[in-house]
Copies of this chain bind each other. A is one copy, B any other.
Amino acid sequence: MRILLTNDDGIYATGLAAMNKALGEIGEVVTVAPEAEESGTSHSITWTHPLRYRKVFVKNEFFGYAVSGSPADCVKLGIMGIMKEPPELIVSGINMGANVGIHVLYSGTVAAAIEGSILGIPSVAVSVDVSGYADLEYAATISRDIIKEIMKNKLPKCTLMNINIPSVGREEIKGIRFTRQCTEGFEEGVDERKDPGGRTYYWLVGGMEVAVEEEGTDIRSVHDGYISITPLHYDLTDYNLLKHLSSWDWSSVEEDICKFKGITR
């Protein structure tokens, strides 16, 4: 099996090396990752300037390709510029930090897997919660075994899997849970400071502890010591709301459209 491995923590990240090793036991891994950390870059793509890549020897362990761009760029360039044949699987991770709740939206790790799915290839994002203990060897091995099961069952079009490993020792993992993305209970803020020159600057501050109460979510699962497996898709349409839109009163908009066309209704 040809596997494209990427991440958002960069080509020299320890989580990437752990995943590279674990995946090497089930396939031929081509690692294409950002040359610098790209955490929080979401689904950014590089289009105002060109991309470059260079082959690097990582941690005296494996060769990889370092790309001057985002995780999504790595997937595009990996498939269309570096690999001779397209991969049969894309894995993004292991990310240091859970990608759960709204962090799914900010995450470059998840975005790389979304990009893989857009390009029609089964794609999986893997992250490990680092609020306590993080056992990368375990996270890589168990997520590889989860990925093997996913590949047996086939992912539908436009979907991807988001795996999150709890921050506990391997003896304390309680099992796996199939979860939904938590959409609630985030605390956000801005921390205002002065630099040495007296000028004001701002740090964004975010947390998600308040969301732990919600049952069935990715956040709750990881918090409770279960490996979270969330099926995601990249169709953002709210079909429920779409059904109701035509029953809203749009007559004034329709009148405006006619008015601008010079038609009186």
Residue-wise interface mask of A (188-206) relative to B, using a CB-CB cutoff of 8 A (1 in contact, 0 not)? 1110110000011111101
Looking at chain A's contact residues, the main secondary structure is: mixed
Nearest B residue to A146, CB-CB? B253
Bound together, the chains give a CA A152 to CA B250 distance in angstroms of 11
Closest CB-CB distance, A104 to chain B, in whole Å?
Answer: 6
Number of A positions contacting B (CB below 8 A): 94
**In the complex, A131 has a CB within 8 A of chain B:** no
Are A188 and B80 in touch, CB under 8 angstroms?
yes
Nearest B residue to A249, CB-CB? B149
Additional pairs, 20, CB under 8 Å, beyond known A76-B204, A142-B256? A41-B42, A47-B204, A50-B201, A51-B201, A51-B202, A80-B190, A81-B192, A105-B111, A145-B253, A145-B256, A152-B249, A155-B241, A170-B261, A178-B245, A178-B246, A181-B237, A183-B235, A230-B237, A233-B236, A233-B241
